[in-house]
Amino acid sequence: MIPRDTIQSILDAARIEEVVGDFVQLKRRGVNLLGLCPFHNEKTPSFTVSPAKGIFKCFGCGKAGNAVNFVMEHEKYSYPEALRYLASKYGIEVEEQEPSPEEKQQDTDRDSLFSLNDFARKFYVNTLFETEEGKAIGLSYFLERGFREDIIRKFQLGFSPTAWDTFTKTALQNGYSEKYLVDSGLTISKDGKHYDRFRERVMFPIHNLTGKVIGFGGRILTSDKTKPKYVNSPESEVYNKSKSLYGIWLARNSIVARDNCFLVEGYTDVISLHQSGIENVVASSGTSLTTDQIRLISKFTRNITILYDGDPAGIKASFRGIDMILEQGMNVKVVLFPDGEDPDSYARKHSSSDLEGFISTNSDDFIAFKTRLLLDETQNDPVKKAGLIHEIIHTISLIPDPIIRPLFIRECAEIMQIAEQTLMNELNKLLRKKKLKGYESESQEQIPEPVIIAPPQELAPDISDCSAQ
């Protein structure tokens, strides 16, 4: 923990114009400074910094706060991380209070797992590029798929040897403990023997938001039906698959810049799009989309575009993911690739401009997408058509914003050729039913507006009159 007086020293030293000025070009406008907001796309500056008050406010998107808030929002840091950043900037020594024995052990476990995972990453990369087996099997596979060497190195791809315990032996020889080898899932212990979880597989390291390796995915290259195509790290102290997204550490800046996140299914989809120059892309890594993953994306944008391959069965199974995105108050669009294609294969067959053009041209909102996909199945059957309408109204009811819901009702009415008021009546009936059960849509958790974080008993400054002068 950072002592209270140290926090106060940091807040006293931090000059808002200097902190913001490291990231935003500011121009003097009267007593304040003005610039383009780094949190949303704008052409006319509405982002104001008040040196006198020590605060910033954007009159476009509404974000506001002090220097700590700005660092937290811009760099996606926690409160302590933002304080340490500012302490380093202003040369303030941070002597944190002694943690409990349990906290110390937890920190030791996490640091040890991060260190081991990074060692494993280097081991697999070295095996891929520096061993005959790695080059003959792993590297040749990546190159045959059309991945350039710079992209292979960018994603830190690797190869695990065929032998049963090569990695485990190497890690033990380099001082890594058996406990953390097993805890990380890199080593499996059975009947007193130890062997590598990943053998003869191309390796995809999974990183957290700051670029630390938290786990791995390994793909087999043989056609052996007795072995799973993919093997993934089990959950650990540092890896929770429901809270992780493949590629997020490389995508975060591009997601903010483009104010949109492309969501795909697999590792190679992410890699191929990066090679085509599209970097605002992440993957759920073959798992069903979770609320935590959606909230992770929401740190950087309110817009998600899901890129689906041409498999109708798989798309229908993922409709729940669209509903979950809407429940979080996010905007969702969908792109359906041609039958037999996925983002990876399409990217490898087409130029970057063709790929971007295809995504832009074929991007639908969820109403148009869902209706077009399911309407053919109704076959002019009134009962089936009514079922489709009810399903779409249910999806619309999940949207927290009461202003947006009627707009989608209008679109649905036009597509389905049914009276708008009829659909609105059905929506209101559904909302009333949810309210009676305690599940009114507006009560769904939403990301709160930023508030100024200050030491206890300190009054937050008034930001109401922080305007350009």
Tokens of 19: 């902190």
Q: Are residues 69 and 112 in the same domain?
A: no
CATH of the domain at 408: 1.20.50
CATH of the domain at 142: 3.90.980.10
Q: Are residues 105 and 235 in the same domain?
A: yes
pLDDT at position 438 is 61
Query: How many domains, in total, are found in the chain?
Result: 4
Do the domain assignments include residue 62? yes
Distance (Å, rounded) from C-alpha 252 to C-alpha 261?
A: 9
pLDDT at position 448 is 40
Q: Are residues 142 and 208 in the same domain?
A: yes
Do the domain assignments include residue 459? no
- Successive 10-residue mean pLDDT values, the chain, 469 residues: 85 90 88 90 88 89 92 88 92 80 83 96 98 97 96 98 96 96 96 94 93 95 87 94 93 87 94 96 85 86 88 73 90 90 93 93 88 76 86 91 92 89 92 73 40 44 45
CATH of the domain at 83: 3.90.580.10
pLDDT at position 239 is 95
Q: Are residues 290 and 337 in the same domain?
A: yes
pLDDT at position 98 is 74
Do the domain assignments include residue 272? yes
Amino acid at 35: G
Do the domain assignments include residue 469? no
Q: Are residues 113 and 25 in the same domain?
A: no
Q: Are residues 353 and 377 in the same domain?
A: no
Contact status, residue 187 vs residue 194, Cβ threshold 8 Å: yes
Tokens of 18: 């200097």
Do the domain assignments include residue 457? no
- Which of 361, 394, 417 finishes a domain? 361
pLDDT at position 210 is 79
Pick from 349, 354, 342: nearest CA to 308: 342
Distance (Å, rounded) from C-alpha 397 to C-alpha 417?
A: 20
- Which of 319, 341, 361 finishes a domain? 361
- Local structure of 409: helix, strand or coil: helix
pLDDT at position 435 is 81
245: CB partners within 8 A, 6+ apart:
282, 283, 284, 285, 293, 296, 297
Q: Are residues 71 and 171 in the same domain?
A: no
Entry field: residues in the chain: 469
Which helix or strand (DSSP H or E) is residue 334 part of? strand 331-336
Q: Are residues 169 and 217 in the same domain?
A: yes
Q: Are residues 256 and 211 in the same domain?
A: no
Location of structure tokens 């939403």 = 446
Q: Are residues 264 and 285 in the same domain?
A: yes
What pTM does this model have? 0.75
pLDDT at position 456 is 42
CATH of the domain at 277: 3.40.1360.10
- Which of 309, 340, 361 finishes a domain? 361
Tokens of 5: 């007086």
pLDDT at position 457 is 40
Scanning 240-290, the segments in alpha helix (DSSP H) are 248-258, 267-275
pLDDT at position 5 is 82
Distance (Å, rounded) from C-alpha 400 to C-alpha 446?
A: 8
Partner residues linked to 262 by β-bridges? 281, 305
pLDDT at position 371 is 80
pLDDT at position 314 is 66
Do the domain assignments include residue 14? yes
Q: Are residues 252 and 311 in the same domain?
A: yes
Q: Are residues 305 and 433 in the same domain?
A: no
Do the domain assignments include residue 329? yes
Distance (Å, rounded) from C-alpha 336 to C-alpha 362?
A: 7
Do the domain assignments include residue 96? no
Residue numbers of the domain that contains 247: 243-361
289: CB partners within 8 A, 6+ apart:
263, 318, 320, 321, 324, 325
